[in-house]
Chains A and B, each alone.
Chain A
Amino acid sequence: MNSYFKVKFWSLPVVGVICILIGAYLFPFGPDKRPLAELLMLAGIVQFVLFAVWYFIRYRRKSKETVNS
């Protein structure tokens, strides 16, 4: 995996954490901020899910390479 994909890969959980932290921070601010808070949390969840899927694909590819070698 080249450096571009490495950055892309590890940015997913980092951005996910940041989105969830900001979303959770805005959550107790009442109904006005609630849609933004939920949107950020949802974005964070999507980042985490993408990371998990990509991680699983990488793990499977690596394990296949190990078996082949």
Chain B
Amino acid sequence: MMKRKYLFASLLLTGIILFVAYSCTKDDEIQGSKDRTSNVLIYEDKSLMDEVSPYFYDNHIYQIELLGDNQEREQIVRAALAEGVDEEFLMIDEAQKFHFNHTGVIMYSIPTRDPEQTLILYETEGFYQVSMAHFSPAEGGLMFFELKTMDDREYFSLKLDDQNNVGELKVFENERVKSFNKAVYSLTLSEESQDLTEKGISTNCCRKESSWSNCMKCTVSDCEGSWVCRFTALIAPVELAAGLAASCIGAGPDSRC
């Protein structure tokens, strides 16, 4: 009787152990497949999200992700293929996504079979700018770096020394980059003007305008957006104009707000 009980208990225990082990393996498999489809965080510095350096060369990247096998990666591959890039040339498994703190534009980098070339895609609101970054050793132990649009026209080049110091920075006129910049600018502008409409008032301090007349223009346009100011202009236009004019005296970029 005791032997039977012991045998049953040991079977039950073995069964439980096997069940737990099987479940764990299953969980790992699910987790593994999730990792392959979702992006993996490589680098993140949340402090950089709030503190945006005004300097061009300072750290502006606050997050880097390794892209998983997902729709986002498919989209960037599609954008690259549309620009005539050969899919076989791309090492798509190593595609990375960069987030900047000073712009909403997202950068993707995809290494290629050529170690001296990396495909760079800038994306904003579904617009893509596809470029190819070229690295090559230059004289004096320097590294030459240039960015070209897919029509093989350069728009940016610089040289780096062994301590990553930037030198000989050149920016070239490039129609494709210009039109992408225009698209980004108009998108940003429309978002900002939407914000202004939602808030009802401008967030500008008109006294920061360059001259008295510009300050007046800015104030008048602000006044048009405020019903109290418009009503005051109806009731006491002279007093209102006198007050605004007096306030704009001394307007300039360094004036007090």
Q: Give A contacts to B, CB under 8 Å.
A: 16-17, 20-32, 34, 38, 41-42, 44-45, 48-49
Contact = CB atoms under 8 A, between A and B. Distances in A.
A49 B231 CA distance: 12
Nearest to A39: B228
Main secondary structure of the interface of A (DSSP, over half): helix
B231 A27 contact: no
Contacts of A41: 228-229, 231-232, 240
Contact of B244 (A17, A28, A48): A28
B243 interface: yes
Interface residues of B, number: 31
A30 B207 contact: yes
B240 to A, nearest CB: 5
Shortest beta-carbon contacts, A-B, top 5: A24-B243, A30-B205, A28-B206, A38-B228, A20-B239
A24 B231 contact: no
A45 B219 contact: no
B240 A20 contact: yes
Contacts of A25: 243-244, 246-247
Interface string B218-254: 1100110010110110011001111110111001000
Contacts of A44: 232, 235-236, 239
